[in-house]
Copies of this chain bind each other. A is one copy, B any other.
Amino acid sequence: MTPADDRNEGPTTPKGPAAQALYLAMIGAAGPAATGWTGPPRLPAPARRGERVLILGAGVAGLTAAYELSTLGYDVTVLEAQQRVGGRNRTARAGDELYEIDDRTGAAVRTHTCRFDDGLYLNLGPGRIPHHHRRVLGYCRDFQVALEPYVMETTANLVRPPHRAEALPNRRVANDTRGHFAAMLTETLTTHDAFTAEVRDLLRVFGALGADGKYSVAARSGYLHDPVAGEPFPVPAEPLTFEELVESGFWRTSFYQPLDHEWQPTMFQPVGGMDRIVEALAHRARRAGADIVLGAEVTGIAIDEDRRGARVTYRSGGRILRADARHCVSTIPLPVFRGVGRTGFSAAFESAVGIVEFAKTCKVGWQADRRFWEDDPADPSAGAGRIYGGISWTSHDITQIWYPSHDWFSGKGTLVGAYNFEGKAGRFGGLSPRERLDAAREGAVELHPEFADEALVPGEKGITVAWHKVPYQLGGWAQWEPDREDHREAYRQLLQPEGGDVFHVAGDQISPLPGWQEGAMMSAQFVVQQILGVMPRTVPEVTTVPDSIALTQGMA
**A interface vs B, CB < 8 Å?**
21-22, 24-25, 28-39, 131-132, 134, 137, 140-141, 147-149, 151, 153-156, 171, 175, 177, 181-182, 184-185, 188, 195, 198-199, 201-206, 208, 219-234, 245-247, 249, 251, 256, 259-261, 264-266, 268, 376, 380, 386, 388-390, 405, 408-409, 482, 512, 543-546, 550, 555-556
Cα distance A132–B154 when bound, in Å?
11
Which single residue of chain B is at the shortest CB-CB distance from A222? B261
Question: Do A171 and B261 have beta carbons less than 8 Å apart?
Answer: yes
Which single residue of chain B is at the shortest CB-CB distance from A260? B220
Which single residue of chain B is at the shortest CB-CB distance from A27? B227
Question: Do B225 and A34 have beta carbons less than 8 Å apart?
Answer: yes
Cα distance A222–B268 when bound, in Å?
18
**Min C-beta distance of A2 to chain B, whole Å:** 13
A151 proximity list for chain B (CB < 8 A): 149, 265-266
- Picked from B221, B264, B408, the residue with its CB within 8 Å of the CB of A155 is B264
Known: A36-B225, A181-B181, A409-B140. A388 touches B131 (CB 8 A): yes
Known: A21-B226, A380-B36. A555 touches B208 (CB 8 A): yes
Question: Do B155 and A265 have beta carbons less than 8 Å apart?
Answer: yes
Can you pick out 22 interface pairs between chain A and chain B where the beta carbons lie within 8 Å of each other?
A25-B233, A28-B227, A29-B229, A32-B228, A38-B376, A39-B376, A131-B156, A132-B222, A149-B388, A149-B408, A155-B265, A171-B261, A177-B202, A181-B206, A205-B555, A206-B251, A208-B259, A219-B261, A220-B261, A230-B543, A234-B512, A266-B389
**Min C-beta distance of A270 to chain B, whole Å:** 12
Question: Do B266 and A154 have beta carbons less than 8 Å apart?
Answer: yes
Which single residue of chain B is at the shortest CB-CB distance from A199? B246
Cα distance A31–B230 when bound, in Å?
9
Known: A226-B36, A227-B25, A251-B202. A265 touches B31 (CB 8 A): no
Question: Do A268 and B408 have beta carbons less than 8 Å apart?
Answer: yes
**Min C-beta distance of A196 to chain B, whole Å:** 10
- Picked from B177, B221, B233, B545, the residue with its CB within 8 Å of the CB of A206 is B177
A153 proximity list for chain B (CB < 8 A): 265
Which single residue of chain B is at the shortest CB-CB distance from A221? B261
A134 proximity list for chain B (CB < 8 A): 376, 386
Which single residue of chain B is at the shortest CB-CB distance from A203? B181
Which single residue of chain B is at the shortest CB-CB distance from A551? B234
A21 proximity list for chain B (CB < 8 A): 226
**Min C-beta distance of A287 to chain B, whole Å:** 21
A259 proximity list for chain B (CB < 8 A): 175, 208, 220
**Min C-beta distance of A171 to chain B, whole Å:** 6
Cα distance A512–B232 when bound, in Å?
11
A35 proximity list for chain B (CB < 8 A): 225-226, 380
Question: Do B246 and A409 have beta carbons less than 8 Å apart?
Answer: no
A203 proximity list for chain B (CB < 8 A): 181
Known: A220-B259, A226-B36. A232 touches B482 (CB 8 A): yes
Known: A219-B261, A543-B230, A555-B219. A154 touches B131 (CB 8 A): yes
The 3 closest A-B pairs by CB, nearest first: A34-B226, A28-B233, A30-B229
Cα distance A404–B38 when bound, in Å?
24
Which single residue of chain B is at the shortest CB-CB distance from A550? B219
Which single residue of chain B is at the shortest CB-CB distance from A34? B226
Cα distance A389–B151 when bound, in Å?
13
Cα distance A195–B248 when bound, in Å?
12
Cα distance A463–B233 when bound, in Å?
37
Question: Do A31 and B555 have beta carbons less than 8 Å apart?
Answer: no
- Picked from B132, B147, B202, B221, the residue with its CB within 8 Å of the CB of A386 is B132
A22 proximity list for chain B (CB < 8 A): 226
Cα distance A201–B245 when bound, in Å?
13
A156, A221, A376, A409: which has the most chain B beta carbons within 10 Å? A409
Which single residue of chain B is at the shortest CB-CB distance from A130? B386
**Min C-beta distance of A23 to chain B, whole Å:** 9
Question: Do A246 and B154 have beta carbons less than 8 Å apart?
Answer: no
Question: Do A390 and B24 have beta carbons less than 8 Å apart?
Answer: no
A188 proximity list for chain B (CB < 8 A): 184-185, 188
A35, A246, A408: which has the most chain B beta carbons within 10 Å? A408
- Picked from B175, B182, B184, B251, the residue with its CB within 8 Å of the CB of A205 is B251
A247 proximity list for chain B (CB < 8 A): 198
Cα distance A141–B220 when bound, in Å?
27
A246 proximity list for chain B (CB < 8 A): 195, 198-199, 202
Which single residue of chain B is at the shortest CB-CB distance from A25? B226
A25-B234, A149-B151 given; 20 more Cβ-contact pairs under 8 Å: A24-B226, A30-B229, A36-B376, A131-B156, A132-B386, A147-B408, A148-B149, A149-B405, A149-B408, A154-B266, A171-B264, A188-B188, A198-B249, A199-B246, A202-B246, A205-B251, A205-B555, A206-B256, A219-B261, A221-B261
A39, A131, A265: which has the most chain B beta carbons within 10 Å? A265
**Min C-beta distance of A130 to chain B, whole Å:** 9
